[in-house]
Amino acid sequence: MIIALMASCFAFAEQLTVAPDPLERRLKKEEFQKLPPEQRRAYLDRLSYINNGGHVIKANTGKGIIKVIVSSDKFDFAILERPLSAVEKFMKIRVEVVRGESATVENAKNRMTLDKANVAVYVVENPKLPRLLTAPEEGWAIVNVLPLNEGSPKQEVFERRIIKETMRGLSLATGCANVGGCMQPVSDIKSLDFLVAETYPLNARAQIYKALEEFGVEPRTEASYKVACQQGWAPAPTNEIQKAIWNQVRQLPTNPISIEFDPNRGK
């Protein structure tokens, strides 16, 4: 009996702290502040979706892809996903990190075709290659991890070198050089270690877009469903919330402005 009563009390307390669907009832400020942080975020996310209809991408935009292809097994290639996902979000272009075969200067262009990449950075182990090779006229770079192990550094230092050199390779392969961020002169491992930035700066975006366009990589157009409706390119609604936004944006005004022509005005 006591256990059942306690369970009932806990269930009631939980109901008091669970955020309702904003479609059913909007919370007052005091109610919202009583919610746990994770439920506040969930409530705000749901409210944003109700008001804006979620996130959509315009059809036939975001063409082409940049691939970072890792053949080395000296590190977990997942370390490259964070900086590259930031590039994808910042530049609004497709970027993937995958495991694949190695490339050399002689076959890099052919490997890009086989790997179905518009721009490619190959992260390899090759004792015959320097630390970094790039061919911006063809859109590829090769990062050799063996020279990055100079001095037998800790794994953390080794991986940071790989990240920075990979980002430098991507930047150079897309025609961006010495503009700040990770794109600064690096003559040796010591200067690479002193390099703090792991990506290119804001002022390089226009230059990189121009180079990417030559290789068939285009940024995607994305917006909230509401903005897409206002701009005239939204896809057909997929649920009742989007349908309501679609109808609201497309409906004619109830009290349109009436403008009468006055031939004498301005004389």
Count of alpha carbons within 13 angstroms of residue 239, beta-carbon side: 7
The confidence band for 28, taking pLDDT boundaries of 50, 70 and 90, is confident
Q: Which residue has the higher pLDDT, 33 or 177?
A: 33
> Is the CB of residue 123 less than 8 Å from the CB of residue 69?
yes
Which CATH superfamily, name and number, covers 66-214?
A: Collagenase (Catalytic Domain) (3.40.390.10)
Residue 126: DSSP 8-state: -
User: CA 48, CA 51: separation in Å to the nearest integer?
Assistant: 5
Say if CB 103 and CB 142 are below 8 A apart. Answer: yes
User: What is the C-alpha to C-alpha distance for residues 37 and 56, in angstroms, rounded to an integer?
Assistant: 27
- pTM, entire model: 0.76
Confidence of residue 19 (pLDDT cuts 50, 70, 90): low
Query: What pLDDT was estimated at residue 26?
Result: 83
Computed on alpha carbons and rounded to an integer, the radius of gyration of the chain in Å comes to 27
Extents of the domains making up the chain? 66-214
Question: CA 243, 47, 87: angle at the middle one, nearest 5?
Answer: 90
SS (HEC) of 159-181: HHHHHHHHHHHHHHHCCCCCCEC
Pairwise CA distance, residues 69 & 114, whole Å? 12
CB 63 within 8 A of CB 42: no
Using pLDDT thresholds of 50, 70 and 90, give the confidence band for residue 207: confident
pLDDT, tens only, 236-265: 999 999 999 999 888 866 666 666 767 777
Segment 51-81, tens digit of pLDDT:
899 999 999 999 999 999 999 999 998 999 9
Residue 97's DSSP bridge partners are 68
